[in-house]
């Protein structure tokens, strides 16, 4: 016991009982041997390499880790044990690399430090050192690191697929003149960097055109970020687009969140159903388009953003301007380059090609379509456009038991509609009043379908009163 009352054993440094002291000799050769003796007892793997990446010294720890004879290792190139070693790079650059992942010949991995050794301004060797003190610790950490790396790659691949466009102009099916003209126009617009506004009814393929514009542009290698303005609650849309800072509102994520506009940096931002964008968000969007800077909700710092805007809507934006539901300055900013996609009822000559395309994409490419089915589909009004046609084909695919798509596989509303569709080459024409009544019934049925049976909207569309519409529907048993 010493004066302070502590035992002599506690005064000794940690591990002194197991490691004998090293007595340094006076001559230099023995001094080097003494340092090797010390390095053989540290809880870390150490290797010295010369300027040719050849091993000069390997301590016992590394030899045990590599299951190698350290005497035989001397003189061998470092890549004999580390096939992908960056040690030659450190020799060339003279820059140290700390905490880097390194793969072994035994398919294990380590975290290592690579520290260059300089003499007279020249890199003459490198010290390679593991960053953990024992093999068990290395294995444990590397197992967790590899698992984390796999998770990061998994989410990165998912994010890349979400932020990627998948449809080109070549993948948009149809040879109708109006559709072909729309594709040519959009392809020309894609070569510029100006905003593009895509107009069309629901289900006509506006998003496909947006994908194609991105892939045909100079930003094709950048992200493609899609936002459906109608699908996000209005009170959340602004923070979703512009992002927010920590504490911007109750429930805000710690550290804040970047918005969709920031995510589109270097690429394309597609705002679907832009007519549903709130007026305050429209004003902020216009500011971003003019300044190329964005400010998160609740923040004061601005970020530079570089993106190309593509917008789409099925609404009449001019009428919305008159009702103060859409900003005029935003409209004229978007309306410079406009593409209008025709409804399916305006390009019925594409129906046959679309049906075969959907059959092929469902894996039923050998199924034949009867001529009567094509005629019935061409006669139908298609209020849901191409999306509705795709759903009809997918429904039929689940019902077809043979190898032919027949009328029995069609929904009843399409079959019933056939009776209202005049024969393009009728063998008999009735009196004028009979033909007018027949055509009136067809128009009434189409108008009701377009408005999903809403009598007020149908009456406004046809320019008649609701009472008159009810009378005509009763007369035609609709």
What DSSP state is assigned to residue 74?
Answer: T
Second-level CATH architecture of 169-334: 3-Layer(aba) Sandwich (3.40)
More confident residue, 453 or 315: 315
Question: pLDDT tens across 204-246, in order?
Answer: 999 999 999 999 999 999 999 999 998 888 888 888 898 888 7
Q: Of the candidates 92, 140, 142, which has an alpha carbon nearest to the alpha carbon of residue 112? A: 142
Find the mean pLDDT for residues 403-409.
85
Does the structure show a pLDDT above 50 at 26? no
CA distance 61 to 53: 20
Q: Which of 291, 289, 292 minimizes the C-alpha distance to 197?
A: 289
- Which fold, 432-475? Arc Repressor Mutant, subunit A (1.10.10)
For 260-303, the pLDDT digits (tens) are 999 999 999 999 999 999 999 999 999 999 999 988 888 788 88
The predicted structure's pLDDT at residue 145: 66
With H, G, I as helix, E, B as strand and everything else as coil, classify residue 58. strand
User: Looking at residues 22-46, what average pLDDT do you find?
Assistant: 65
Res 427 pLDDT > 60 = no
CATH 3.30.450.20 at 43-136, yes or no: yes
Residue 426 banded pLDDT, cuts 50, 70, 90:
low
Residue 17 — very low, low, confident or very high, per pLDDT cuts 50/70/90? very low
Give the pLDDT band of residue 52 (cuts 50, 70, 90).
very high
* pLDDT over 60 at 19, yes or no: no
Across the range 109-130, mean pLDDT stands at 85
Using the predicted structure, report yes or no on whether residue 154 has a pLDDT greater than 50. Answer: yes
Exposed / middle / buried, residue 364 (Cβ in 10 Å: 0-12, 13-18, 19+): middle
Q: Do domains 169-334 and 432-475 have the same CATH topology?
A: no
- Provide the CATH topology of domain 344-418: Helicase, Ruva Protein; domain 3 (1.10.8)
Beta strands in 341-474 (DSSP E): 368-369, 404-405
Q: Which among 167, 207, 190 has a CA at the least distance from the CA of 312? A: 207
Q: Examine the pLDDT at 159 and tell me if it is beyond 90.
A: no
Position 186 confidence tier, pLDDT thresholds 50, 70, 90: very high
Nearest to 327 by CA among 291, 284, 271, 293: 284
- Asked which of 163-167, 190-194, 239-243, 344-348 is least confident by mean pLDDT, the reply is 163-167
As a whole number, the mean pLDDT across the chain is 81
Quick one: pLDDT at residue 282? 93
Q: What is the pLDDT of residue 320?
A: 92
Question: Exposed, middle or buried: residue 222 (CB in 10 Å: 0-12, 13-18, 19+)?
Answer: buried
Band (pLDDT 50/70/90 cuts) for residue 199 is very high
First-to-last C-alpha distance (Å) of the chain: 109
Whether 361 shows a pLDDT value over 90: the answer reads no
Task: Give this prediction's pTM.
Answer: 0.58
Domain ranges of the chain: 43-136, 169-334, 344-418, 432-475
- Is pLDDT of 104 > 90? no
């Amino acid at each position: 016991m010493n004066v302070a009352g502590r035992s002599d054993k506690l005064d000794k440094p940690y591990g002194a009982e197991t490691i004998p002291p090293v007595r340094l000799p006076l001559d230099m050769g023995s001094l080097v041997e003494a340092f090797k003796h010390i390095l053989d007892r540290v809880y870390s793997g150490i290797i010295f390499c010369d300027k040719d990446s050849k091993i000069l010294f390997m301590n016992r720890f590394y030899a045990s880790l590599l299951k190698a004879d350290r005497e035989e290792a001397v003189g061998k190139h470092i890549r004999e044990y580390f096939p992908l070693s960056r040690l030659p790079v450190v020799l060339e650059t003279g820059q140290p690399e700390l905490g880097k992942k390194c793969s072994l010949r035994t398919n294990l991995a380590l975290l290592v430090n690579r520290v260059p050794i300089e003499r007279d301004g020249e890199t003459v060797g490198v010290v390679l050192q593991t960053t953990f003190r024992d093999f068990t610790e290395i294995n444990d950490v590397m197992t967790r690191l590899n698992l984390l790396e796999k998770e990061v790659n998994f989410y990165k691949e998912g994010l890349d697929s979400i932020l990627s466009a998948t449809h080109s102009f070549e993948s948009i099916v149809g040879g109708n003149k109006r559709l072909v003209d729309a594709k040519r126009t959009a392809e020309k617009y894609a070569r510029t960097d100006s905003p593009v506004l895509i107009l069309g009814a629901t289900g006509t393929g506006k998003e496909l055109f947006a994908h194609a514009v991105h892939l045909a542009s100079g930003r094709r290698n950048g992200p493609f970020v899609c936002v459906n303005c109608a699908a996000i609650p209005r009170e959340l849309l602004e923070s979703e687009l512009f992002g927010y800072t920590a504490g911007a509102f109750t429930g805000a994520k710690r550290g804040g969140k970047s918005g969709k506009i920031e995510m589109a940096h270097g690429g394309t931002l597609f705002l679907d159903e832009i007519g549903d964008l709130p007026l305050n968000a429209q004003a902020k969007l216009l500011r971003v388009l003019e300044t190329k800077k964005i400010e998160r909700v609740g923040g004061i710092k601005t970020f530079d953003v570089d993106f190309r805007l593509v917008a789409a809507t099925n609404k009449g934006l001019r009428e919305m301007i008159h009702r103060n539901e859409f900003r005029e300055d935003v409209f004229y900013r978007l309306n410079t380059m406009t593409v209008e996609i025709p409804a399916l009822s305006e390009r019925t000559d594409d129906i046959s090609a679309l049906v075969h395309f959907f059959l092929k994409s469902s894996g039923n490419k050998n199924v034949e379509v009867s001529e009567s089915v094509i005629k019935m589909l061409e006669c139908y009004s298609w209020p849901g456009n191409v999306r509705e046609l795709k759903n009809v084909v997918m429904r039929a695919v689940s019902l077809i038991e043979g190898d032919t798509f027949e009328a029995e596989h069609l929904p009843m509303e399409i079959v019933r509609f056939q009776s209202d569709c005049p024969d393009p080459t009728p063998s008999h024409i009735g009196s004028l009043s009979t033909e007018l009544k027949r055509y009136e019934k067809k128009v009434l049925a189409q108008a009701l379908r377009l408005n999903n049976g809403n009598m007020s909207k149908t009456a406004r569309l046809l320019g008649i009163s609701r009472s008159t519409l009810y009378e005509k529907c009763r007369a035609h048993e609709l």
